[in-house]
Structures are given as structure tokens and as C-alpha cells.
Structure 1
Amino acid sequence: LSVMTARGNGTAMTHFILLGLTNRMDLQGVLFGLFLLIYTMTLIGNLGMMALIRSDPHLHTPMYFFLSTLAFIDVCYSSVVTPRLLVDFFIVDKSISYIGCMAQMAFFLLHGTAECLLLATMAYDRFVAICHPFLYQTLMSRETCVQLVAVAYTLSMANSAVQTSNVFRLPFCGPNYINHYFCDIPPLLQLSTGDTQMASIVVFLVSAVVVLSSFLLTLTSYTLIVSAICHIPSATGRHKAFSTCASHLAVVTIFYGTVIFMYIRPGSGQASNRDKMVSVFYAIIIPLLNPIIYTLRNRDFQRALGKALRRAKSQCSKQRQKAAPT
């Protein structure tokens, strides 16, 4: 039973209970192992990418600066949701405090919005690199890159504050079971005992402004990029340019597609079991895919990784030689 406290003429919740990803007991162990593997690989991939970019001077360029920032966001983004999901597979008490639920939503929206805006920024970076190569160093200076990331985080904090306060100003005086594995907007709107029509409109409008504006900027950038690539006379040059952008476009398609489905489609304020499956893609899978997609066919990363492995191997050999008896 929920623990409640008096507030005015009614009662208000002090905590919620997460129903989790599934209630099938036979799947708990399998899903725990799967998501633990995904989370571990997410941390290794993104933290490794950040370390590699930081350690190799050849990767100190605008594109890799944005990739390093994306890796940081993915670590934070995934860590807001996945550890709690893993714990809930094996505990009976899946309750989360009112303040804890609010904090989880706020941080999830913060990093989710930052990822959305950063993907658009990265599309603009590729547009400048391909369509205006001679102005690239001027237009995408270090100061400009830092400012773009700062603006993305500022807008993300504003969106997080607006969306979180929009949801938690509503009354929650009835059942406290959240049909989800984390505190997301649609299941909480469904749980509120007040009139959620205006709150749903705010969610739709704010999400549409943030997501669709980022998506349109990305789409415009890639339209101009494709047009510029088609005018490259060399087939090798066209292939290299398309290869550079293909990985980014794959991530963008998955991320924006699932986010638009969750927050901007008609009836997005109503939670369902299908929504939980969709949210796995943008909350858990995308942070894993980013380092894989961006590094798998990237020759700069392959060279930097090869250098790092050779350096580590050389250091291990020296340590063994020092430790060997004379």
C-alpha cells in the first residue's frame, strides 16, 4: 500500500512504485544479464572513446570534440535509468520517493534534450566541413564549439525545468503504481488524478519545438550535404563524404524516430506497454550504439586505438622486463 500524507482536503503521495519492464519472473534473470551487458559495454565504449579522444592530439578537432561530448552525455543519460532498472529485477520493493522520481525525470530530460540538440549540432558541423571546407576552421573554432555545447546544455536545463514542473504540479492522490521502469512523462500523466489536458498540450508543444526544430536543422544540413556530395567529381571523394555522414544519419534516424513516437505523436500522454519497449531504444540502446557506430568504420579512431594498444603493450613489456629476475 502507498504511504500518503495529508495535504489540504486530500492526500498526496510520498513515493511511487515502478512496475518495471516486465512482470514475468522467468525473464528477470535473462533480462538482468542482457541489460547489465549493455550497460557495461555502454560505459566501456563511451568512456573509452572519451579517453582516446583526449589522449590523441590528432583527434583534437571539432568533430571529435562533439563526439567526446556525446559520449559524456550518453554515459549520464544511460546511468539515469539503467542502474535502477537492474536493481529492480531482483528486489521486491520497487518504490521510488516523490523527490527521487522528480530528480530522475529532470536528469533524464536534461541529458535526453542535450543529446537531441548535440546531434543537430553535429549535423551542422558536418555541413560546414563538407559544404564550406575552406571556412571550417574559422566557423568551427574551439570557442564556437564550446559555445554551441553550452547553448545546448542551457536549453536542455530550461526544457527539463519546464517539463518536470509541468508534470509534478499536478495532483497525485490515487494509485501510485507507475506502469514503466523509470519516471517518464506519459505514465505519470496517466497516473495523475487531476486534469492533464493542459499538461499534455505543454508536453506536446515543448517537445515538438525542441525535437522537431533539431530534427529539421539536421534534415536541412543533410539535404545540403547530399547536394554538395553529388557535385563532387571524384567517385572516391563522394564515397568518403557519404561514409563520413552515414553513421551519424543512422543514429539520428533511430533516436529521433523513437523520441517523436513517444512524445509528439497523438495520444503521447497515454502510457502503454509498447511505450516501454520503445523507450528501451532511446534510453538504453542508443547510448550503446553511438560509440560503436561512430568508431567502427572511422579510420582516425582505428589508427588512434592501434597506437594506444601498441603503447600499452610496450609499457607492459617494459614492466615485465623490470620485474624479471636478473
Structure 2
Amino acid sequence: MKYEEVKANDNTSTIKQFVLLGFSDLPNHQQLLFGVFSIIYVIIVSGNSLIIIITRLDKALQKPMYFFLANLSSLEICYVSITIPRILVNLWTQDRSISVLSCASQMCFFLMLGASECFLLTVMAYDRYVAICNPLHYPLVMNQKKCTQLAVGSWIGGIPVQIGQTCQIFSLDFCNSNQINHFFCDIPPILKLACGDVFVHELSVYVVAI
């Protein structure tokens, strides 16, 4: 399916929807790609779900390390569910259009979960640090209450920053094109469509990442 490229005039955003061009250059392999991504998605969801179930049911795994591992598995399920289902819909229906609101929502959740993953990996590293360097104090330091607080903090820690960053990016005027050269709404391809100088926005992305 071909899509008309939309451009705005007079530096004013008139774009109401975007078009995700990812894999559109492989028109004869859409069904194959759909099958491959479906299998990948099922493997990721079932594998991580199995980890969550095992860590919940096995009493020998009721330890902070496995508690955080179960959280990481839950995060991975959410993470891939932001992008892969949309890819599957695009491949199946050949309709690659996505509204500006849907695109912003996808980016926001993708960034929030990405930040949560970074925080959670940091917490897991801290857990191993305490276990190795302070083994006698480990049960006291990494008690159930502390683990829950660290896990909750990891999940919600990046929400305010990423919501602000998403609002900042989508407050720009998009006048270059409505075609996103990617398979989901990510920051770099979105910024390429914006009018004017986006150096400050690109810099803020690097600052937040660091």
C-alpha cells in the first residue's frame, strides 16, 4: 500500500497522523515477517511468564535476587508489548498509519519502560553488591520491605521525566514529512520530521539517557 507524503506549510504543523515505513520495502515478505515476529513475541511472553510463575511458586526462590528477576521479566513483557503487537497489526493489515496521539503514547510508554529497566538493573546490581560485600548484613539490608520499595521506585522513577520529554517532543511542529522511517515511534526518527533546529531536544535526550 502506498502512502501520500504529507508536508506542512508556513512552519505550521498540519500532520494529524504518521506513517510507519518499517519493513515496507519488503512487500513480498510481509507474511513471513508476521510469522517470525509472532513466534518471537510468543517466546518472549511465555518465557518471561514462566520465570514469574516459577519464582512465585518455588519457596527456594523466595529471595531478593529472584524477586527482582521476576520484576525484570514482567518489565520485559510490557516492553515488547509496546512495539511488537503494533508491528504485527501493520504487517497483517498493511495499514501503517498511526495517529499523533497513538504515536506519542507509544513513545511515552516505551521511554518509561526503558527508564524502569535501567533503574531495575541498577537495583539488581546493588543487591549483588550487598550480597557479596556485606553477606552478614544482607538479610537486614535487603529485607522484604526494602526490596518492594526499590522495585516500586524502579517502576515509577522514570515516569515524570519521560512524560515531560514526550510532551516536549510532540509540542514541536512537524512540517518535513509524516513518514517515520522506523517500525515504531522512537525519538530520532520523530525529530527528523520536526521543523527548525532540534539541537536542544537532541541534547536533552542524551542528558536524560546519561
Normalised by the size of structure 1, how large is the TM-score? 0.60
* Structure 1 match to 2:49: 47
* SS of structure 2 residue aligned to 1:39: helix
C-alpha RMSD of the superposition: 2.0
Q: Deviations over 1:14-67 (max 9, x none)?
A: 110000135112332322222111100011011111111111222111011101
Is residue 147 of structure 1 aligned with residue 114 of structure 2?
no
In the alignment, residue 152 of structure 1 is paired with which amino acid? Answer: S
Q: CA deviation at 1:9?
A: 7.8
The alignment of Structure 1 onto Structure 2 pairs a total of residues equal to 207
Q: CA 1:14/1:55 → structure 2, altered by over 3 Å: closer, same or farther?
A: same
- Is the CA contact 1:2–1:15 (under 8 Å) kept in the aligned structure 2? no
* Structure 2 match to 1:99: 101
* Residue 133 (structure 1) aligned to one of 135, 142, 146: 135
* Residue 112 (structure 2) aligned to one of 110, 113, 119: 110
Q: Distance between the aligned counterparts of 2:11 and 2:197, measured in 1?
A: 17
* SS of structure 1 residue aligned to 2:192: helix
* Residue 126 (structure 2) aligned to one of 106, 124, 127: 124
Unaligned runs of 5+ in 1: 209-326
- Is the CA contact 1:2–1:13 (under 8 Å) kept in the aligned structure 2? no
* Structure 1 match to 2:76: 74
Q: Distance between the aligned counterparts of 1:4 and 1:45, measured in 2?
A: 43
Highest RCO, 1 vs 2 (Cα 8 Å, sep ≥ 6): 2
Q: Deviations over 1:258-281 (max 9, x none)?
A: xxxxxxxxxxxxxxxxxxxxxxxx
Q: Distance between the aligned counterparts of 2:27 and 2:208, measured in 1?
A: 38
* SS of structure 2 residue aligned to 1:96: strand
Q: Distance between the aligned counterparts of 1:78 and 1:72, measured in 2?
A: 10
- Is the CA contact 2:82–2:110 (under 8 Å) kept in the aligned structure 1? yes
* Structure 2 match to 1:194: 196
In the alignment, residue 110 of structure 2 is paired with which amino acid? Answer: F
* SS of structure 2 residue aligned to 1:90: helix
Runs in 1 of length 4+ with deviation above 6 angstroms? 2-6
Q: Distance between the aligned counterparts of 1:180 and 1:20, measured in 2?
A: 5
* Residue 18 (structure 1) aligned to one of 17, 20, 38: 20
Q: Distance between the aligned counterparts of 1:107 and 1:68, measured in 2?
A: 20
* Structure 2 match to 1:34: 36
Q: CA 1:117/1:21 → structure 2, altered by over 3 Å: closer, same or farther?
A: farther
Normalised by the size of structure 2, how large is the TM-score? 0.91
**Paired-residue identity, %:** 41
* Structure 1 match to 2:63: 61
* SS of structure 2 residue aligned to 1:16: strand
